[in-house]
Structure 1
Amino acid sequence: MVIRLIILDFGGTLAEGSINWDEYHSSIHEYLRGLGFNVDLNELKGAISAALRLLERVRSREEELTLEEVYAHALSKLGIPESPEILEGIHGLFRRHFKTELYPCVERTLESLFRRYRLAVISNTMSDNPRVFLNQTGLNRYFDLVVCSRDLGIRKPNPKIFQHVLGRLGVEAKEAVHVGDEPETDLQGAQRTGIKAVLVDKGGRTQDWSGPTIRSICQLPEVIEELSRADP
């Protein structure tokens, strides 16, 4: 098969991300009090929990909200008027509290693939953290396009997010490979779009996938080479 484009998931594929939600929400509480809003911490956490439940309902439809939309919903429950400046401050706190660590081999793998293929990222996230991280580390130089689900209001496995990338880059589905660690979003989304998929199964836990599988991103160039040699 002729491969022109490799689409990569971000979290769980290229990097590991984590956040202490209690610390993050406490920092929002301090931030709001600093702005003059006398908000009870428990009431704030309750409003945020309700907003996150709304997010899950939206995501169950393969749609996405932005972090700003989620926290605007929470603040409205507390009578705090919607303000782009306040919401950007809350997003900034999220970026500060969210820890991202690249997996081994990532830069070497990207450098190898970049020589022969176009590269893109599709990440399911309400934040812009993947794009910010790639920009800050300089890894954005390898990618033609970085798409976060918040950008479009849709998320994997919705085929529209894959089709958006294909359309932007002028590539047909049969010329693309998607690489990710989540069977329900990455594999199903790629298959529904007609894109070949590669599973990153770090723990060897996925039993019902017979397609190409790697344990580490380090193995990806070899698997892509095998797919390139395969019959169409």
Structure 2
Amino acid sequence: MSIKAVLFDLGETLLNYGRADIDTLLRQAARLTYDYLRRNTSFGGKLPRFGRYYHQHVFAIRLRYIWSNLTSREFNAQILLAQQLRRMGLPISPAQLDELCWLWYKPAGDLATIDPQLHHHLQCLQDMSLKLAIVSNTFSPPSVLDRHLKQFDLLRFFPVRQYSSEIVYRKPHPRIFQITLQRLGVCASEAVMVGDRIREDIKGARRIGIRAVLKKAYTNESKDAKGHVCVIKEIAELPDLISRWQGEIGT
């Protein structure tokens, strides 16, 4: 069968966040959200001190993150945040909750960069009649990541975006790949997965029959993918690679 779709991981594949100090990012995010709540007069008198606010939220996030990695089941930060605010007695509207979720993400999002030629490379893939999708492990709600992709003018390339936060399943669980394939209308043998994580992206995809391409990044330095795995340094290499595979399939 010919290749009809390319699935992309998000972090360190399409968006490059780089190495970052997680504790620093969490503290910056907590400060942004705390100040947002404090500026709202309906919340101001009910807010705890920043230290307590920070530790309550970060403890909840870290606990859920550990649980997610142990079970391959994702949590949704928007739901968790709403629960935390209710416990504090802080009524909040859906629009305010969306903005708070964005502010929790913003310090990490501000670090992100993309390849200056990424739009061109993605357009080349679309010009080859390939369907494109994103398959990402993330506890951020879809609205936050879509907002960030829109800022980079990437949203238009990916009509299908499958975030683990909206379906519970995390890579390498087969279900997140299967749901994405169903939404694209292709089968596993007609798809290619591109990502930087060996266990989640490469092994997870290959387990259900999807071809996999490892994109070099700091996340896979000194790691052995084991077995024959195609490796690229840049997305720019993908169009030629897929064209070569298409030629091999046709012979």
Contact 2:10 2:136 (C-alpha < 8 Å) held by counterparts: yes
1:221 aligned residue: 239
SS at match of 2:217: coil
1:207 aligned residue: 224
2:139 aligned residue: 126
Contact 2:47 2:88 (C-alpha < 8 Å) held by counterparts: no
SS at match of 1:44: helix
- Which runs of 5 or more structure 1 residues have no equivalent in the other structure? none
SS at match of 2:16: strand
Normalising by structure 2, we get a TM-score of 0.82
Is the deviation greater in 127-136 or in 148-157?
127-136
User: Within the alignment, does 1:42 sit opposite 2:51 as a pair?
Assistant: yes
Residues of 2 paired with 1:84 and 1:59: CA distance?
28
Contact 2:26 2:58 (C-alpha < 8 Å) held by counterparts: no
Residues of 2 paired with 1:31 and 1:119: CA distance?
36
Is the deviation greater in 162-171 or in 83-92?
83-92
Is the deviation greater in 33-42 or in 130-139?
130-139
How far does the alpha carbon of each residue in 1:194-219 deviate from its partner, in whole angstroms, 9 at most, with x for none?
11100001355332343111011121
The change in CA–CA distance for 1:63 and 1:136 in structure 2 (over 3 A counts) is same
SS at match of 2:194: strand
Could you tell me which of 112, 115, 127 is aligned with 1:115? Answer: 127
- CA drift at 1:120: 0.8
User: Within the alignment, does 1:90 sit opposite 2:100 as a pair?
Assistant: yes
SS at match of 1:7: strand
1:12 aligned residue: 12
User: Within the alignment, does 1:29 sit opposite 2:34 as a pair?
Assistant: yes
Residues of 2 paired with 1:144 and 1:87: CA distance?
25
How far does the alpha carbon of each residue in 1:86-140 deviate from its partner, in whole angstroms, 9 at most, with x for none?
4323113235432231124311210111111111111111223432223333322
1:103 aligned residue: 115
Residues of 1 paired with 2:9 and 2:196: CA distance?
8
How far does the alpha carbon of each residue in 1:33-77 deviate from its partner, in whole angstroms, 9 at most, with x for none?
332223111111221122113322034211112221232343355
Residues of 1 paired with 2:159 and 2:36: CA distance?
36
How far does the alpha carbon of each residue in 1:172-229 deviate from its partner, in whole angstroms, 9 at most, with x for none?
1000000000112111220122111000013553323431110111211122222223
User: Within the alignment, does 1:177 sit opposite 2:192 as a pair?
Assistant: yes
SS at match of 1:30: helix
- Which runs of 5 or more structure 2 residues have no equivalent in the other structure? none
